[in-house]
């Protein structure tokens, strides 16, 4: 077990991770964990190798601690490295997977967690997004507004945060409904 | 001074601090134009609409470009930490920012040095950070929607994406009073809450103070920025001198009326709603606001 004290590229001391709303990424092997740390730091994100609490330990004895809000970005960075799962360090609740749908005469609003997307039934055009609070949400709003659901770059590809991940789930739910409606037509 | 701080979705925008002016569909801060779209720009626009209507001094904005990496967010936190004692805001409203718990804690250390203390308002991820760092009760106003109320009520959650599933599913219009009580019990609520939903609720630690349920415009929920405009009006009305519960009630009412005075569809954009606010103040809320 080691706790390096030097500062990383972002200037944050690793002990600050204890204060950042931690998430943990669990790995099968130590090699994968170390490789993941290198990749994440190279991309400019704050992270540290830590010992997961016994209740969360599933594979090897090292996990990668990171700012949980940046989960979307880290999952994208680690596409080439197998990892077991991402878990919040505090609390036990898993990531929300509930999708709720509200019908309007010409539109459908799909809500996933705290994020909502609304599209036009006939065309599949995205007419609004709402909810959320992370700093990529205003950017994603502008990027996908006015585009067809199946033609957008997905929020999980463009975004960095948990709100982006929730918006992506809403997009996924909207796509399923819209394609289902297309088939019925 | 009313300060509104938050990011705007322009990657290259540097840190800006200054008085805000409206230029058609844009906001002007110094030499820069910012589109008045969903997010902090919508919040500032609504605060500006209130300020202009009552001929108050314009809000001061502290904004920086950030599309999710947190770089602009950190610039905003650092600027406020270094300059808050000179700025001496009477109302400080924190909005879209990367929830950095350590910087939020440092900012609050500076807030504590201000005498008189500013009215502290948080919405969006600034509200998430304030709750996650254990400072919720140090804030005067939070403006959550229902899913965010479930987050405030969940003792363990550090982001609304990780709320207990049972809490998320059971938080609806019928259970709002219980969730408000739970949020206060778990130290997750500010001194006042404005819970936005089919009915809007104003509450404090003793329970619900008032509610607004009409006009009912369900389409408003689809429109990105309608929560931002409420919080912007709240900040400006408190700055005008209204007491906090009145400012919350009038802002929630104004938003609904702005949705009702012209046709509103799920495709209506937030700048259309903002443009209707002066008419709402003039025709429907003149007496309440005065």
Q: What is the ipTM of this complex?
A: 0.96
For B204, counting Cβ atoms within 10 Å of its Cβ (0-12 exposed, 13-18 middle, 19+ buried), the class is: middle
Per residue in A19-48, pLDDT (tens digit) is: 455 799 999 888 899 999 999 999 999 898
CB pair distance less than 8 Å for B163 and A93: yes
A54/A111 same-domain check = no
Q: How many domains does chain A have?
A: 2
Give the least confident one: A14-18, B79-83, B211-215.
A14-18
Same domain, A71 and A106: no
Q: Which of A26, A56, A88 is the last residue of a domain?
A: A88
B102 and A160: CB-CB below 8 Å?
Answer: no
Instruction: Mutate one of B161, B221, B265, B267 to test the A interface: name it (highest A CB count within 10 A).
Output: B161
Residue A108 clears pLDDT 60, i.e. is over it: yes
B272 to chain A: which residues are within 8 Å by CB?
Answer: none
Q: Tell me which residue in A93, A141, A163 faces B165 most closely, judged by beta carbons.
A: A93
The chain A residue lying nearest B105, using CA atoms, is A19
pLDDT value at residue A21:
55
Asked whether residue B275 carries a pLDDT value surpassing 80, the answer given is: yes
What is the SS3 string spanning A37-82? HHHHHHCCCCEEEECCCHHHCCCCCCEEEEEHHHHHHHHHHHHHCC
Right CATH for B2-138+224-289 from 1.10.287, 3.40.1190, 3.30.2310, 3.30.70: 3.40.1190
Q: How many CB pairs under 8 A join A and B?
A: 186
Q: 């919405």: which residue's tokens?
A: B123
Q: Does A126 touch chain B (CB under 8 A)?
A: no
Q: Is the pLDDT of residue A183 over 70?
A: no
Q: Do A165 and A139 share a structural domain? A: yes
Q: Given a cut of 50, is residue A7 above it in pLDDT?
A: no
The mean pLDDT of chain B is 95
Task: Find how far residue B174's CA is from the centre of its chain.
Answer: 24
Instruction: Mark which residues 260-279 of B lie under 8 Å from A by CB.
Output: 265-269
Annotated domain spans of chain B: 2-138+224-289
- CA quadruple B97, B99, B105, B109: dihedral, nearest 10: 10
> Of B189, B209, B210, B92, which is closest to residue B143 (Cα–Cα)?
B189
Contact criterion met (CB < 8 Å) for A162 and B39? no
pLDDT confidence of residue A94: 78
Q: Which of A174-178, B105-109, B157-161 has the lowest mean pLDDT?
A: B157-161
pLDDT of residue A25: 92
Where in the sequence is the domain holding A172, given as residue range(s)?
99-184
Q: Which one of B65, B68, B77, B97 would you mutate to disrupt binding with A, by most A Cβ within 10 Å of its Cβ?
A: B68
Which of chain B's residues have a Cβ under 8 Å away from the Cβ of A76? none
Confidence grade of residue B25 (pLDDT, cut at 50, 70, 90): confident
The 10 Å Cβ neighbour count of residue B17 is: 18
Question: Domain check: are A109 and A58 in the same one?
Answer: no
A96 and B168 in contact by Cβ < 8 A? yes
Q: Average model confidence (pLDDT) for chain A?
A: 85
CA B141-B142-B146 angle, to 5 degrees, is 145
Q: Give yes or no for residue A3 having a pLDDT over 60.
A: no
Q: Is A29 in the same domain as A75?
A: yes
Pair A171, A126 in one domain = yes
A127 interface with B at CB cutoff 8 Å: yes
Residue A8 in domain = no
Confidence category of residue A92, pLDDT binned at 50, 70, 90: low
Residue B100 has pLDDT above 90, yes or no: no
Residues A105 and A180 in one domain: yes
First to last CA, chain B: 20
Q: Which of A62, A88, A114 is the last residue of a domain?
A: A88
pLDDT confidence tier of residue A90, bands split at 50, 70 and 90: low
Chain A residue numbers with beta carbons less than 8 Å from the beta carbon of B223 are 128, 130
* Residue A129 sits in the same domain as residue A171: yes
pLDDT reading at B243 higher than 60:
yes
Whether residue B169 lies within 8 A of chain A, CB to CB, comes out as yes
Say yes or no: A76 and A106 in one domain. Answer: no
A162–B contact, CB cutoff 8 A: yes
In a domain, A1, yes or no: no
pLDDT at position A178 over 80: yes
At residue A97, the pLDDT reads 87
Q: Do B159 and A92 touch (CB under 8 A)?
A: no
The shortest C-alpha distance from A78 to chain B (Å) reads: 17
pLDDT of B261 higher than 90: yes
- The CA distance from A103 to A86, in Å, is 33
Is A24 strand, coil or helix?
Answer: strand
3-state secondary structure of B20: strand
């Amino acid at each position: 077990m080691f706790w390096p004290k030097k500062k990383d590229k972002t200037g944050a001391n690793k002990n600050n991770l204890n204060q950042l709303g931690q998430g943990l990424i669990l790995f099968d092997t130590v090699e994968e964990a170390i490789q993941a740390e290198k990749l994440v730091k190279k991309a400019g994100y704050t992270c540290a190798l830590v010992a997961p609490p016994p209740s969360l330990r599933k594979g090897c004895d090292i996990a990668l601690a990171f700012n949980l809000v940046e989960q979307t970005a880290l999952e994208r960075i680690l596409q080439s490295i197998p990892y077991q799962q991402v878990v919040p360090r505090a609390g036990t609740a898993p990531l929300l997977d509930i999708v709720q749908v509200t019908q309007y005469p010409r539109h459908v609003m799909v809500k996933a967690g705290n994020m909502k997307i609304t599209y036009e039934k006939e065309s599949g055009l995205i007419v609004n997004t709402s909810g959320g609070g992370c700093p990529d949400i205003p950017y994603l709003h502008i990027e996908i507004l006015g585009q067809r659901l199946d033609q957008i770059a997905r929020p999980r590809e463009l975004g960095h945060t948990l709100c982006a991940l929730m918006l992506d789930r809403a997009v996924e739910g909207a796509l399923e409904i819209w394609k289902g409606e297309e088939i019925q037509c | 001074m009313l300060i509104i701080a938050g990011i705007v979705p322009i990657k290259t925008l540097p840190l800006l601090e200054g008085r805000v002016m409206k230029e058609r569909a844009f906001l002007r801060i110094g030499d820069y134009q910012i589109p008045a779209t969903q997010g902090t720009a919508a919040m500032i626009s609504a605060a500006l609409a209130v300020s202009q209507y009552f001929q108050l001094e314009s809000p001061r904005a502290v904004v920086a470009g950030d599309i999710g990496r947190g770089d602009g967010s950190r610039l905003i936190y650092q600027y406020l930490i270094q300059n808050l004692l000179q700025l001496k805001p009477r109302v400080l409203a924190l909005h879209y920012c990367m929830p950095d718990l350590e910087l939020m804690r440092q900012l609050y250390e500076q807030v504590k040095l201000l005498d008189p203390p500013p009215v502290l308002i948080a919405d969006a991820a600034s509200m998430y950070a304030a709750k996650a760092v254990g400072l919720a009760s140090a804030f005067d106003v939070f403006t959550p929607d229902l899913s965010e109320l479930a987050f405030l009520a969940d003792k363990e959650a550090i982001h609304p994406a990780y709320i207990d599933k049972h809490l998320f599913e059971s938080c609806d219009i019928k259970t709002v009073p219980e969730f408000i009580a739970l949020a206060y019990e778990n130290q997750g609520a500010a001194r006042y809450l404005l819970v936005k939903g089919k009915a809007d609720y104003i509450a404090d630690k003793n329970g619900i103070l008032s509610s607004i349920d009409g006009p009912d415009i369900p389409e408003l929920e689809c429109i990105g920025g309608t929560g931002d405009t409420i919080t912007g009006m709240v900040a400006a009305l408190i700055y005008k001198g209204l007491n906090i519960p009145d400012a919350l009630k009038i802002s929630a009412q104004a938003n609904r009326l702005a949705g009702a005075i012209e046709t509103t569809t799920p495709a209506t954009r937030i700048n259309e709603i903002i443009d209707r606010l002066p008419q709402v103040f003039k025709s429907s809320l003149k007496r309440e606001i005065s």
